[in-house]
Amino acid sequence: MSIIKILAGLCLVVSISPALAEEKFKVCADPLNPPYSTKKEDGFENKIAELFAKELGQKVEYFWFAQRIGFIRNTLTASVNERDVDSDQYKCDIVMGVPEGYDMTLTTAPYYQSTYVLLIAKGRGWDDIKDATQLTELPLERQEAMRIAMFDRGPGTTWMQQNGLLDQGIPYQSMSGDSENNVAMQIDKDFKAKKIDMVILWGPMAAYVMSQSPKDSYSLIFMQSTPTLKFDFAMAMGVRKSDKEKKVILDKLIINNADKISEIIKRYNVPLVTPSKKKLSN
């Protein structure tokens, strides 16, 4: 698709049939996953869902389920009538945040791109660290004093392994199944309890942790992707692989509301990087 067609798409208005206007904007979401989504509907994914529903003349309806292994199977592709495997009635239709190209869904164009960051609590002896590579160059005595959160998966752990820092890691689960804390909430609590001093954390979660403390409580350092280790990822929305019509509608909503989406995400202070270019379907 030429750049002229892409720019022309910016002027498109999503056409809404009377039938579509009567439908609900059915979102699959975690009820306790700040800063993305909560039952209070105060996460940035909640706000974007609300924006899109308004554009379509619909109301948001949530199917709540904890973000963990099996999330897609229990939400997006789960029939309302679990005994009828051939039913075309599903519990929900849209996952508001998945990596671009996620293999379990059909994904829209990306609507933001963030990165993993090194988040360091200030005033604990690490204020001189301005770049993650400095951690690898510290004297052994200082390295041994590090208390850095380390997850069971993700590029942060890979980076620590590549740089001989696994022994300094304090292990955490990426999906704990905790009904009272998501990952970002637990990291916030453990920072405040001084169980950890730093963490390599996905950008939106780092933004949430920082929002729970006074300004300037943390240093935030962007992790730099390399040819062998990627830290920045584009985020899209996910629909069922057969639901190409809904993908087209969402793609156009993303184009037409790019500025409003950006404003919402910026209110949550999510660290952003330059997004990759993505051709949209007509």
Q: What is the pLDDT of residues 185-210, one digit of tens each?
A: 999 999 999 999 999 999 999 999 99
pLDDT for res 184: 95
Nearest C-alpha neighbor of 114 from the set 253, 26, 243, 235: 235
**129 & 157 share domain:** yes
Domain total in the chain = 2
pTM over 0.75: yes
Q: 222, 249, 277 — which closes off a domain?
A: 222
The reply to whether 57 and 138 lie within a common domain is no
Residue 85: CB atoms within 10 A of its CB come to 7
Under 8 Å CB-to-CB from 254, ≥6 apart: which residues? 108, 109, 111, 237, 261, 280
CA distance 9 to 210: 37
Q: What is the pLDDT of residues 87-101, one digit of tens each?
A: 568 999 999 999 999
**Cα 234 to Cα 109: distance, rounded to the nearest angstrom:** 9
104 and 118 belong to one structural domain: no
Same domain assignment for residues 217 and 255: no
Question: Does residue 227 form part of some domain?
Answer: no
Cα–Cα distance, 275 to 36 (Å, whole number): 19
Lowest mean pLDDT among 13-22, 57-66, 87-96: 13-22
CB atoms within 10 A of CB 240: 18
Q: Is residue 280 part of a domain?
A: no
Q: How far apart are CA 12 and CA 257, in angstroms?
A: 11
Residue-level pLDDT at 275? 58
Q: What is the pLDDT of residue 277?
A: 45
Confidence of residue 3 (pLDDT cuts 50, 70, 90): very low
Domain that holds residue 215: 114-222
Residues 129 and 69 in one domain: no
In a domain, 69, yes or no: yes
- Tell me: do 217 and 242 sit in the same domain: no
Check whether residue 175 and residue 100 sit in a common domain.
no
Same domain, 76 and 14: yes
Say yes or no: 119 and 208 in one domain: yes
pLDDT digits (tens, 9 = 90+) for 100-135: 999 999 999 999 999 999 999 999 999 999 999 999
Query: How many whole angstroms separate alpha carbon 38 and alpha carbon 40?
Result: 5
> 10 Å Cβ neighbour count for 83?
6
What stretch of H or E contains 119? strand 112-121
